[in-house]
């Protein structure tokens, strides 16, 4: 229980420090796409295990090699996160018998997993510069230590750890950085009741290289002009107030308005009889007759509920009765066809040919006609 309290206190202290340092800072850059600023790191170095029994025996003998591999992402030039795997083996000693002698425990399959929150202190306080040669960052986070515990060397146990550290980065170019990293971590003791302490600590120092996929790429955040926004809000408020006043004025005028009766006059075209005259012995429509038929077609289409009769005539005094009958039918037919071509419906027309049985008018030329009525 005490070891968990120590780890939690360490994490909270690191997180509080990072938040206090960042408070009031206005970040001007960010990663535009999720795949931007993803990186991978590799490092080598050494780790020293910190335990009261190690101090008694000799701290130098507890220093072992360390290899680390990290994968992470920078959200902006100040904040980022990463997942780091580290370890090879560790050496610890424990005072476990009544004689006060020590036993060396070497964990050859020692692995530590860290989940770190990254805070770039240089960019936080001095502002981001793309070509800056060197930056200093701090990191903090929880993790898991996988190791064989004392008294149970066959099974690998997972021990919760917490760590904080500092990292210096040399900016080689857009893609590569050289890292120097120091980390301090604490976890429950793998010796349990055989140890003089409830926790084990470790201090590590590594150097390595970082590669950023696609290169470091940050874009500037758009600056918000609060004054311009306030001006726009005030303008819309004024326009809304004016519109409400106009609406109230219109409603008041409508309430006091007297009914007005408007007389609407619509002109209705009435279809009356129309005559299309022909030359003697012919059934071809003249230009004047075509104009007359086009006007008649407009009137007929405007009165779809009415039906019209097309009656053809010939001059009785010219030609035989048989010839005049045929000629009158041809004249009626050509008028009928012309009206259909002008868009008149078939069901509105009735076709009749009267021949030359009688003269309706006093002059022979007037009887060579088709009457539309």
Whole-number Å distance between alpha carbons of 145 and 158: 5
Q: 150 phi and psi, to 5 degrees?
A: -60, 135
For 228-249, the pLDDT digits (tens) are 788 888 888 999 999 999 999 8
Distance from first CA to last CA of the chain, Å, rounded?
113
For 266-293, the pLDDT digits (tens) are 554 545 567 888 888 888 888 888 888 8
CATH of domain 274-372: 3.30.1330.60
Rounded to the nearest 10 degrees, how much is the dihedral formed by the CA atoms of 112, 116, 122, 123? 150
Q: Specify the pLDDT at position 323.
A: 85
Share of the chain above pLDDT 90, in %: 28
Is residue 259 over pLDDT 80? no
Is residue 180 over pLDDT 90? yes
Q: Specify the pLDDT at position 95.
A: 56
Per the structure block, which two tokens stand in for 63? 């220093």
Predicted confidence band of residue 13 (pLDDT cuts 50, 70, 90) = very low
Predicted confidence band of residue 331 (pLDDT cuts 50, 70, 90) = confident
- Tell the residue number behind the tokens 């930056």, with chain if given: 135
Q: 178 phi and psi, to 5 degrees?
A: -105, 130
Is residue 98 over pLDDT 80? no
Whole-number Å distance between alpha carbons of 326 and 240: 80
Q: 197 phi and psi, to 5 degrees?
A: -135, 160
Higher pLDDT, 43 or 62: 43
Is residue 72 over pLDDT 80? yes
Q: Specify the pLDDT at position 114.
A: 95
Q: Specify the pLDDT at position 149.
A: 59
Buried b (16+ CB within 10 A) or exposed e, 181-218: bebebbbbbbbeebbebbbbbbbbebebebebeeebbb
Per the structure block, which two tokens stand in for 222? 């758009």
Q: Specify the pLDDT at position 57.
A: 56
Residue 28 CA, distance from chain mean position:
23
Q: Write down the pTM of the prediction.
A: 0.51
Tell me, which fold does domain 2-220 have in CATH?
A: Porin (2.40.160)
Q: Specify the pLDDT at position 109.
A: 64
Collapsing DSSP to helix, strand or coil, 1 comes out as: coil
Q: Judge whether 46 and 66 are in contact, CB under 8 Å.
A: yes
How many other C-beta atoms are found inside a 10 Å radius of the C-beta of residue 64? Answer: 20
Instruction: Please tell me the total number of residues recorded for the chain in this structure.
Output: 373
* Angle between the N-to-C axes of helices 287-302 and 321-341, in degrees from 0 to 180, rounded to the nearest 10: 60
- Burial (0-12, 13-18, 19+ Cβ within 10 Å), 314: buried
For 110-155, the pLDDT digits (tens) are 789 999 999 999 999 998 998 899 999 999 999 998 876 555 556 6
Q: What is the average pLDDT across 332-349?
A: 88
Q: Which DSSP string do the residues of 328-363 spell out, in sequence order?
A: HHHHHHHHHHHHHHTT--GGGEEEEEEETS---SSS
Predicted confidence band of residue 169 (pLDDT cuts 50, 70, 90) = very high
Domain limits of the chain?
2-220, 274-372
């Amino acid at each position: 229980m005490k070891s968990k309290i120590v780890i939690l206190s360490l994490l909270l202290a690191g997180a509080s420090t990072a938040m206090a340092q960042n408070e009031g800072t206005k970040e001007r850059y960010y990663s535009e796409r999720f795949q931007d600023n993803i990186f991978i790191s590799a490092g080598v170095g050494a780790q020293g295990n910190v335990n009261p029994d190690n101090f008694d025996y000799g701290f130098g003998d507890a220093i072992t090699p360390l290899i680390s591999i990290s994968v992470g992402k920078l959200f902006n030039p100040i904040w980022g996160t990463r997942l780091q795997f580290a370890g090879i083996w560790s050496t610890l000693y424990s005072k476990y018998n009544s004689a006060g002698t020590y036993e060396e425990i070497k964990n050859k399959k020692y692995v530590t997993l860290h989940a770190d929150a990254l805070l770039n202190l240089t960019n936080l306080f001095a502002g981001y510069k793309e070509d800056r040669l060197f930056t200093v960052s701090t990191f903090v986070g929880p993790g898991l230590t996988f190791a064989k515990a004392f008294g149970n060397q066959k099974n690998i146990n997972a021990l919760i750890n917490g760590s904080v550290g500092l990292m210096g980065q040399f900016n080689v170019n857009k893609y590569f950085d050289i890292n120097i990293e120091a980390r301090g971590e604490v976890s429950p003791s793998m010796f349990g009741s055989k140890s003089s302490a409830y926790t084990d600590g470790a201090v590590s120092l590594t150097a390595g290289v970082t590669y950023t996929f696609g290169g470091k790429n940050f874009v500037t955040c758009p600056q918000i002009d609060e004054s311009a926004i306030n001006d726009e809000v005030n303008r819309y408020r004024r326009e809304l107030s004016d519109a409400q006043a106009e609406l109230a004025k219109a409603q008041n005028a409508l309430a006091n308005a007297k009914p007005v009766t408007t007389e609407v006059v619509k002109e209705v075209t009435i279809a009356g009889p129309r005559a299309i005259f022909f030359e003697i012995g012919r059934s071809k429509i003249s230009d004047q007759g075509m104009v007359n038929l086009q006007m008649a077609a407009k009137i007929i289409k405007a009165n779809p509920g009415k039906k019209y009769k097309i009656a053809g005539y010939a001059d009785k005094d010219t030609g035989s009765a048989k010839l005049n009958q045929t000629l009158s039918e041809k004249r009626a037919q050509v008028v009928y066809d012309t009206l259909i071509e002008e868009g008149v419906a078939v069901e509105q027309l009735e076709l009749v040919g009267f021949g030359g049985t009688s003269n309706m008018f006093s002059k022979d030329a007037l009887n060579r006609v088709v009457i539309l009525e």
